[in-house]
Amino acid sequence: MLDDASRKAQKQKSHIPPIQPDGDIQHDEAQAEVSSAPRPRVHPDTAANYLKFATVLKIYTRREISERDIERASRLYLDFFEEYVKIRRYGPVHGFWTFLFERLNKVLKAINTSGHKGGVVEVTFAREFKREISLTRMCSVLANQDNDRLARFIASNLKKHARDIARIGTLSALAAEAQDQAAAEREDRQPGQCVAAGTGKLRFLEDGLQKALMEWYARHHPDLKLRFGADATAPLGSTFLANRATFFSELRVEGKRITVAHEDKRSKSDSLVLHRVSTGLQWVGELRGVFLHRQSGIEPAQTFAEVAWLVPLQDTPKHADLYRDFPELEVNFWEHRRYLAAADWEPDSVILAKDIAGTAARCEMQVGQQKIWITTGMSKVSIFTKKFH
């Protein structure tokens, strides 16, 4: 038994690791930190090159494009990107190149070929494309006949017919935009403006909304001298703020839906809006409410949007400098899960729906020990007036 005990003790001692000096331990830790440091796998200029390419794509996919925009894009990627030549010939990419791809996809998937293979469907598509281009060229010639009213009338009707053809493609956004443009003509408003959508419900306004509306009317219609309905000191004949409004579940702008997102909603990707505060400065927020307010003394009724605005990040990360040369991307940095208070100076929590410039996309990023929000605007028009060199 003594022999067994001695053998067991020797076995336990053999499993005890040898004691290292403190200097060796520190040396091993430093060596481990050096070996665990991430090694860059891409070229240092890759990020800037990617942003150049993204800027070029965003410029080319705008609804309208100027010669200055083309020059800006061509300078960014002139070495290998020569699409600006085609842009000069055919116009902005939006509604043209995407239409061709979706139209071809529709033709190939929806038509029963009945054994017609070997490129017959593709030939049919090519003929249709040639016919449409010829029609467009003819419309352009007729529309420029200043002294011939009949020619201009024919060109206008041919263009309407072309828009009807475009609506039957699979590009649903194109159809929605065409419908929005038609609705804008009926309602005497500018195409691309935000409008309320969905079924409206008449409800009483909460105290916070009444206060925000009162401030808005006081700034834009001071002659009304509105009073709250519960104001016992209001003189005889005063005009009171209407305490009810018709609430909607969403807005529509440029064929896109912007849904109302309550604070406790988990995903708010479809609720981010852009508000153009000044030239070149936009603010991103989450849409909290949409309502139509009819106030006595003001025609027509105004559609308002209640927005929770994000808080700008004061100490931006180092890589934020990469975006300064590419303002077209509309990239901004915000504090994570923080919103402006009602007393903050800009912007207002309640704005006109028509002042919403568009939508935005947002992602969450970890920078060191801090989480931040990064947004990029989805505008289809240029918001910057400065020239780039």
- Does residue 320 share a domain with residue 207? yes
| Same domain (yes/no): 158, 219 | no
Count of CB atoms situated within 10 Å of the CB of 145:
13
The stretch 324-342 carries a mean pLDDT of 89
pLDDT, tens digit (0-9, with 9 covering 90-100), for 222-267: 988 889 988 888 888 888 999 999 999 999 876 678 899 887 777 7
31 falls within a domain: no
Instruction: Say yes or no: 231 and 283 in one domain.
Output: yes
Is residue 38 included in any domain, yes or no? no
Q: Which helix (H) or strand (E) element contains residue 124?
A: helix 120-143
Q: Are residues 234 and 305 in the same domain?
A: yes
- Per-residue confidence at 102, pLDDT binned at 50, 70, 90? low
pLDDT of residue 128: 74
Q: Which residue has the higher pLDDT, 10 or 327?
A: 327
Final residue in a domain of this structure, among 169, 187, 205 = 187
- Most confident option among 128-137, 284-293, 376-385: 284-293
Q: What is the mean pLDDT of residues 41-70?
A: 82
The answer to whether position 359 is within a domain reads: yes
Strand partners, 195: 252
- Kindly state the average pLDDT of the residues 40-65: 81
- What was the pLDDT predicted at 35? 54
Last residue of one domain, picked from the residues 187, 220, 246: 187
So what's the pLDDT on residue 131? 77
Residue 383, domain member (yes or no): no
Same structural domain for residues 331 and 270? yes
∠ at Cα 267 (311, 377), nearest 5°? 50
Q: Which of 187, 203, 228 is the last residue of a domain?
A: 187
pLDDT for the residue 291: 95
Q: Are residues 292 and 214 in the same domain?
A: yes
Q: pLDDT at position 289, please?
A: 93
Is residue 191 pLDDT above 60, yes or no? no
pLDDT value at residue 94: 62
Q: Are residues 173 and 265 in the same domain?
A: no
Name the strand (E) or helix (H) holding 8. Answer: helix 2-14
Answer whether residue 26 is part of any domain: no
Residue 359 has pLDDT above 80, yes or no: yes
pLDDT band at 96 (very low <50, low <70, confident <90, very high): low
pLDDT band at 389 (very low <50, low <70, confident <90, very high): very low
Q: What count of residues does the chain have?
A: 389
Residue 11 lies in a domain: no
The number of folded domains in the chain is: 2
Structural domain boundaries, residue 71:
46-187
Q: Which class for 291: exposed (0-12), middle (13-18), buried (19 or more C-beta within 10 A)? A: buried
Same domain flag for 157 and 206: no
**Res 312 pLDDT > 80:** yes
Is 256 a domain residue? yes
The answer to whether residues 148 and 251 belong to one domain is no
What percent of the chain shows pLDDT beyond 90?
21
How much is the pLDDT for 257? Answer: 83
CA atoms within 13 A on the CB side of 12: 6
229 with 177, same domain: the answer is no
Structural domain contains residue 108: yes
Residue 223 and residue 76 in one domain: no
Residues 221 and 366 in one domain: yes
